Every structure is written in structure tokens, then in C-alpha cells.
Amino acid sequence: MFRKVLIANRGEIAVRIARACRDLGISPIAIYSEADRGALHVRMADEAYLVGAPPSSESYLVFENILKAAQRCGADAIHPGYGFLSENPRFAEACAAAGIPMIGPSADSIRLMGNKTQARSALLQQGVPIVPGTDRALDSPQEAIVEARAIGYPVMLKAAAGGGGKGMRLVETESRMAASFEAAASEALRAFSDPALYLEKFVARPRHVEIQVLADRYGNSIYLGERECSIQRRHQKVLEESPSPALDDDLRRRMGKAALKVVRAANYENAGTVEFLLDEDKNFYFLEMNTRLQVEHPVTEMVTGLDLVREQFRIAAGERLTLRQRDVRLRGWALECRIYAEDPDNKFFPSPGVIQRLLEPQGPWVRVDSGVYEGWEVPFHYDPLIAKLITFGADRPQAIERMKRAIGEYQIDGIKTNLRFFDRILSDPEFEAGRLSTHFIEEFMQRASNSTDQPAEVPDAAVVAAALAYRDRSSTPPSIVRPLRNNRWKMNSRPVGGVSVKKWRASR
């Protein structure tokens, strides 16, 4: 096993990886930018190296600085986490050339899956179901029109070098093709330095269901069930769960086997995720493969009992998979809420700042993967994900109940977060029924704005007056006027600990 691993990331995932290192007796080494000197992931490491200025293009993305840190500390591997350099084949090659392997698949596997048209044609040959479309780049809008006639409208134009929704256009009629083609190509050029586009048949109201896989270098591979990730906002996942309410054992087995065909086609090693679109008739189609550890990996850990980061280290160290497919047992239900430092009342704009107060939920079957602590300033330079809240239950209703409890306990003051937003999702009848699609958030917001309900919170005048007085007398933000839960206005005057505002003032 490795002795020392450099974690080329920050925030909650760097903390998560450091924990797996401790469990395996590996010394975790951090890197940090000037904005992250006091970050939690730095505190949790045995050593930490400054790699540059706050913008990630000047720190967390600079090969040379990261490799220099790895060499200086004598690391024998680099874990890239997710985002940043995790799916950069040139970084994987640079690590290998420096003799410090990047934990993950080979540069060739990353490159194949990063090119959507190449991946599609490789998988078509293996018999993996892919969305009907073209398996090479289109040369012109005219060619797109010819191909789209064969596929049938509506179609989607997608960037060959893309993923995650950039450079993607829905084209409903032939008259729109030329304009959409130019727009998508220029967006792709800007985002990926490659304007190449291809076409797919449009799948209406799909679910996003992804299969977690593990593969060792000896050709053994297993799938670890699925994650339902349909609840997204602007291609950013918000809430994930495992299993998916849409799957049964038969569909799970068929999707799992398709995912393992992808593994073989890519000669894939380490942990990976095969994304599928699942249509309303339960047909599934390969979408893309993520060649990294994913944000939402904990829900799979909860239902399988595995530590995926530990498995990543073992595979990278040349060990064999110890589980066979028949040893994989899925048990219970897990949910994950992504806690973002953003303001749901102001178009979900990022809300960086100092965390004035933090109380994380605890108790039975609750897991918090957090990258922050009370008193720390969330920098504005990075992704606003500050923590993930995961709950487990014997079944879906129990996991939901525990999530409601945990959300109710969570206190984050000083910055805006999307915490309260989850209360409403978790009580939504469509969510409760498991009727999900990639349009869920959009339709949910529509339902909320149509509803004739009273405003959720109308504090009375005395509470407002007390809050204003309180604010003027202390550095504590007027967070106490926010109910602990919606519609629990009687909690308003009670700060944590149950001390009333009046008593608190009297004791000063």
C-alpha cells in the first residue's frame, strides 16, 4: 500500500480522501492556494504545500506546482478527487512520467471517454445501448440536416469534447438547425477549444441514472448498483439517492451489465461511473462515463457498505478486487443533499463569507461530509459546495424522515445556503412518490410559485423589533429570527440552547 499520498484537491472531497488515507495508514498531504491557508483539508493533513494564488488556474490546476509538491514530500501517489485535474489525461501522463501515479484510470481511458463520438462508436461495437445518432463529428450544418432527417426531430446537438451540458442545443425543427449549429459550435470552441459537434435523438423527460463500477488491472470488474441523480439545477446535481425509485432487480442487472461492457471497451481500471438516460418507457441509453470519484459516491457507500476511496487506493496499488459480483449486496436506502453556499432567494447566486456559526446534524444514520468549520471564510474563488448531508434508512420513507430531521438540526449562519430549499423538496408529493425526471426542479419551482399558500414566514412585529435590537448590540447576525423549520414561528425568539432573546439581553 502507498505510504504517502498527495491530495490534489480542496474542500470536502480533500477531507474525505484524507480520512480514507488515515484508515489505511497512509499519510495524507494537502495542497492549498493562498485563499485556503486555513482550510479544513489543510488542517487534516500531515503536511501542506502552497501551490499558488487563489484562482484555481494559478494553483489547483498548475501541474508543475502540484508535481513539485508531490516530489518535495516524497508522495508515492496523487489522488485528484473530482473536478480540477481529475479527468485531465495530460495530468495523468505527467504524474506517470514523474513516477507518482495518479489514482484513477489510465490516460488512454480518460481520453477515450472524454471524446464523446469516439466513445459512442467504441460502445456501439460492444452492443451497449446508446442514444440513436451520429458516431462521428459533423462537418457542417448541411450534414447535420441530412443526419437529423434520418434520426427524426427533435434532436440534440452536442459537443464531441463536451459533457455536462455545455455546447448542447435542442433542435426541434429543421428551420432551427443552422442557427443552433453555429451557436453550439462556438460555445464548444470557447468551452473545450474544440468546435466538433454530433447529433443524438432527443430523449423526452428522462431520468439520469448512473451505475458505479470498480475494475482492477487484472480484468475483474463489478457494478455497485445505481444512483438516481435526476434532481439537478442547470446541470448541477442537488439531491441524489440510491437505489433509484425507477429500477427493479431486472433493470438494475441489465444496466449493470451494460456498464461493465463500457468498462471493458475502455480497458478501464479503478472506480468509475457510467451515466445513462432512462426514458419514460424504461429504455436506457449510455450518456457518458465519468472517469473519477464522484461527488455523490457516499450514497453508494451507504447501500453497499464499501469505502470507495479505500477501493480506489487498493486498486491503484495493484491489488485485486476482493468482491465478486455475487458478493455485492444492496441494503436499505440512502439520500444525499448537496449543501451549497448560495442564495435560493436570489437566483442561487454564490454566497461566500465567514461562517459565523455552524452546528452540524448528528445522530443515528446521519453522515456529514463537510469541508468547512465555524469561523472559517468560504472563499469566492471555488465551487460553492460546502458539505454533503447523507442519511440512510431501511427504506426510502425512513431515509427521507431522517433527512428532514438532519436538515432541521443543521445551523449555518453568516452565509446563505440552500438548506431550507431541501425542506420543501423533501415534502413535495412528486418527490415523495419518487416521480422524478431531469425536469423535476423546474416543475417543482413552478408548483411552488403557483401555490396559493400563505408566505412561509411572517414574523410578528415584536420578533422583528427584538431581532433588530439584537443585531445592533452584537456581532451575531440576526439569524435567530429564522425559524428552525418553516412554519414554526414560535421558535423565532429562541437562539440555540433555548435561551430567549430577553434573557440573553438581561444577562449582558
CB of 244 to ligand MV4, least distance (A): 13
Residue 131 makes contact with ligand MV4 by CB under 6 A: yes
Give the nearer residue to ligand MV4 in terms of CB position, either 203 or 316: 203
Residue 391 makes contact with ligand MV4 by CB under 6 A: no
Instruction: Report the distance separating Cα 122 and Cα 116, nearest Å.
Output: 10
- The set of cell numbers assigned to 213 is 463500477
Residue (of 305, 378, 390, 297) closest to 86 by Cα position: 297
- Residue 64's identity, in one-letter code, is E
Instruction: Report the distance separating Cα 220 and Cα 263, nearest Å.
Output: 10
Give the nearer residue to ligand MV4 in terms of CB position, either 14 or 266: 266
Which part of the chain contacts ligand MV4 (CB under 6 A), choosing from 83-91, 200-208, 400-408, 425-433?
A: 200-208
Q: Is 487 helix (H, G, I), strand (E, B) or coil?
A: coil
Residue 120 makes contact with ligand MV4 by CB under 6 A: no
Contact between 103 and 270 under an 8 Å Cβ cutoff? The reply is: yes
CB of 320 to ligand MV4, least distance (A): 33
Which part of the chain contacts ligand MV4 (CB under 6 A), choosing from 36-44, 84-92, 194-202, 305-313?
A: 194-202
Kind and range of the H or E element at 303? Answer: helix 297-304
CB of 307 to ligand MV4, least distance (A): 27
Residue 235 makes contact with ligand MV4 by CB under 6 A: yes
Q: Residues 351 to 370: which contact ligand MV4 by CB under 6 A? A: none
Please tell me which residue in 10, 120, 169, 292 is annotated as part of the active site: 292
Instruction: Report the distance separating Cα 484 and Cα 469, nearest Å.
Output: 20
Give the nearer residue to ligand MV4 in terms of CB position, either 206 or 256: 206
Q: Is 398 helix (H, G, I), strand (E, B) or coil?
A: helix
**Per-residue binder mask for ligand MV4 (CB under 6 A), 255-284, x = binder:** ----------------------x-------
Instruction: Report the distance separating Cα 106 and Cα 122, nearest Å.
Output: 17
Which part of the chain contacts ligand MV4 (CB under 6 A), choosing from 73-81, 202-210, 253-261, 289-297?
A: 202-210
Contact between 94 and 117 under an 8 Å Cβ cutoff? The reply is: no
Tell me, what DSSP letter sits at residue 152? -
Residues that contact ligand MV4, how many (by CB under 6 A): 17
Give the nearer residue to ligand MV4 in terms of CB position, either 164 or 219: 164
Residue 123 makes contact with ligand MV4 by CB under 6 A: no
Task: Characterize the bridge pairing of strands 221-233 and 236-242.
Answer: antiparallel
Give the nearer residue to ligand MV4 in terms of CB position, either 61 or 131: 131
**Per-residue binder mask for ligand MV4 (CB under 6 A), 146-165, x = binder:** ----------x------xxx
Of 14, 85, 185, 203, the one binding ligand MV4 by CB under 6 A: 203
| Neighbouring residues of 148: CB distance < 8 A, sequence distance ≥ 6 | 155, 171, 174, 177, 199
Which part of the chain contacts ligand MV4 (CB under 6 A), choosing from 6-14, 69-77, 201-209, 401-409?
A: 201-209
Give the nearer residue to ligand MV4 in terms of CB position, either 254 or 439: 439
Of 200, 241, 269, 301, the one binding ligand MV4 by CB under 6 A: 200
CB of 437 to ligand MV4, least distance (A): 9
Q: Residues 421 to 460: which contact ligand MV4 by CB under 6 A? A: 438
CB of 428 to ligand MV4, least distance (A): 18
**Per-residue binder mask for ligand MV4 (CB under 6 A), 458-497, x = binder:** ----------------------------------------
Instruction: Report the distance separating Cα 111 and Cα 267, nearest Å.
Output: 12
Give the nearer residue to ligand MV4 in terms of CB position, either 201 or 357: 201
Residue (of 23, 4, 18) closest to 73 by Cα position: 4
Strand partners, 198: 158
**Concatenated DSSP letters for 463-475?**
HHHHHHHHHHH-S
Quick check: is 292 catalytic?
Answer: yes
Instruction: Report the distance separating Cα 304 and Cα 40, nearest Å.
Output: 28
Q: Locate all alpha helices (DSSP H) within 44-97, ordered by sequence.
A: 63-73, 89-97
- The set of cell numbers assigned to 308 is 470507495
Give the nearer residue to ligand MV4 in terms of CB position, either 106 or 438: 438
CB of 80 to ligand MV4, least distance (A): 20
Give the nearer residue to ligand MV4 in terms of CB position, either 69 or 131: 131
Other Cβ atoms less than 10 A from the Cβ of 291: the count is: 25
**Concatenated DSSP letters for 161-218?**
T-BTTBT-EEE-SGGGHHHHHHHHHHHHHHHHS---EEEEEPPSS-EEEEEEEEE-TT
Instruction: Report the distance separating Cα 239 and Cα 310, nearest Å.
Output: 24
**Per-residue binder mask for ligand MV4 (CB under 6 A), 6-45, x = binder:** ----------------------------------------
Contact between 235 and 165 under an 8 Å Cβ cutoff? The reply is: yes
Q: What are phi and psi of 342, to 5 degrees?
A: -150, 160
Would you tell me which residues interact with ligand MV4 (CB under 6 A)? Answer: 131, 156, 163-165, 200-203, 206, 208, 232, 235, 277, 287-288, 438
Catalytic residue numbers, as ranges: 292
